Amino acid sequence: MYCHIEELHDIPTNTLGEPKEILVDSYTWSNNGQTGKTYTYKMSDEKYERPINKAYRISLHEEKPYSLCVIHYYDLIDYDLEDCIGENKIDSIAKGINISRDEIWSIIKSELEPLQDRILNEYQQTEEYLARKHHQEILKEYRQAKEDFQKEYGIAASEYDRCYNVFGELMNSEYLNQLNQILEERINIKKTSKRYRKYAYQENFNNYFNSSSSSSISSEFNDDEREMLGRFYKILAKKYHPDSNPDIDTSAEILLINKLKKSWRV
């Protein structure tokens, strides 16, 4: 079996390619009495002309020919070979001639991939390709900026679009200042809370650990049991220590753990 490619000329095709520009767009919204503007983007209506009107008739030949499809020149730029030909067509032929679909794909690709590589190389010399590559880079940076914004402010990535446009230009400094103020307050509260939890832990430690030597509480535990209880205490103290729980107030747990330590006399 072999794959045959017939080049066809003057075949009508979609003559419009990549849009020439990415444009800033926006819409105004209202929610619970508040109004605002969100900045989006759209592709320009003006597109690059695609002047090449070639196509390729693809067929497989064994004892008889099997017609596969007609692929336009620009289809080999915009789509994968599997999308151009279709899996169902290959499966149908494979069943009819008792050859595996992988063997058929191997035969087809050995002929079509060099053609596709040549066409892609030609396309990469065009102004349309440079514009497409530029647009992809802009949108990649835009998506990354939204992801970074979400991580920094701890809010939905869509809020980025209230501050910046697709090119990263600041459009609403007032709203951004509000977010920065909220972020600063949140950081200060977190720092204060962490300092308080460490202070409370130290106070509890001093009150219930350092005084244990003077405690008159009796214990019925033997030495082996006290050693085991000492291990229990260390595990609990480590688990509920403020440094292990930066976002949770564990002072109550620490208080109870140190009471147990006192009563266990470990």
Q: pLDDT tens for residues 10-47?
A: 888 777 999 999 999 999 999 888 899 999 999 999 99
Residues 11 and 122 in one domain: yes
Q: What type of residue is 264?
A: W
Structure-token match 């336009």, residue found: 72
Structure-token match 């109004």, residue found: 35
152 falls within a domain = no
170 falls within a domain = no
Q: Over the chain, what is the mean pLDDT?
A: 85
Residues 6 and 125 in one domain: yes
Rounded average pLDDT over 213-236: 69
Question: Is the dihedral angle over the CA atoms 164, 165, 168, 169 positive or is it negative?
Answer: negative
- The lowest-confidence range among 99-108, 200-209, 240-249 is 200-209
158 falls within a domain = no
Give how many domains the chain has, as a whole number.
Answer: 2
What integer pLDDT is reported at residue 215 of this predicted model? 44
Task: Give the side-chain half-sphere CA count within 13 A for 220.
Answer: 0
Q: pLDDT tens for residues 133-171?
A: 999 999 999 999 999 999 988 889 999 999 999 999 999
- The lowest-confidence range among 10-19, 55-64, 217-226 is 217-226
Assess whether pLDDT exceeds 50 at residue 102: yes
What b/e sequence results for 139-169 when a residue is b if at least 16 CB atoms lie within 10 Å of its CB, and e otherwise?
eeebeebbeebeeebeeeeebbbbbbbbeee
Cβ–Cβ under 8 Å, residues 65 and 35? no
Cβ–Cβ under 8 Å, residues 205 and 255? no
Return the structure tokens found at 164.
Answer: 């910046």
DSSP letter string, 192-209: HHHHHHHHHHHHHHHHHT
Final residue belonging to a domain, choices 131, 149, 171: 131
What integer pLDDT is reported at residue 150 of this predicted model? 92
31 falls within a domain = yes
Residues 75 and 190 in one domain: no
137 falls within a domain = no
What integer pLDDT is reported at residue 218 of this predicted model? 44
Residues 6 and 115 in one domain: yes
Q: pLDDT tens for residues 177-194?
A: 999 998 888 777 766 665
Under 8 Å CB-to-CB from 205, ≥6 apart: which residues? 254, 258
Residues 197 and 125 in one domain: no
Assess whether pLDDT exceeds 60 at residue 245: yes
What integer pLDDT is reported at residue 110 of this predicted model? 95
Assess whether pLDDT exceeds 80 at residue 263: no
Element (H, E) at 139: helix 127-153
Share of the chain above pLDDT 70, in %: 87
Structure-token match 């050693």, residue found: 227
What integer pLDDT is reported at residue 205 of this predicted model? 55
What is the number of helices (H) and of strands (E) in the chain? 9, 7
Under 8 Å CB-to-CB from 32, ≥6 apart: which residues? none
27 falls within a domain = yes
More confident residue, 87 or 132: 132
Question: Is the dihedral angle over the CA atoms 5, 6, 7, 10 positive or is it negative?
Answer: negative
75 falls within a domain = yes
Final residue belonging to a domain, choices 131, 163, 197: 131
Residues 45 and 108 in one domain: yes
What integer pLDDT is reported at residue 217 of this predicted model? 43
Assess whether pLDDT exceeds 60 at residue 236: yes
- Structural domain range at position 243: 186-264
Question: Is the dihedral angle over the CA atoms 111, 50, 166, 161 positive or is it negative?
Answer: negative
CB atoms within 10 A of CB 257: 23
149 falls within a domain = no
CA distance 14 to 19: 13
Which of the listed ranges 10-24, 95-109, 112-126, 237-251 does the model predict with the highest average pLDDT?
A: 112-126
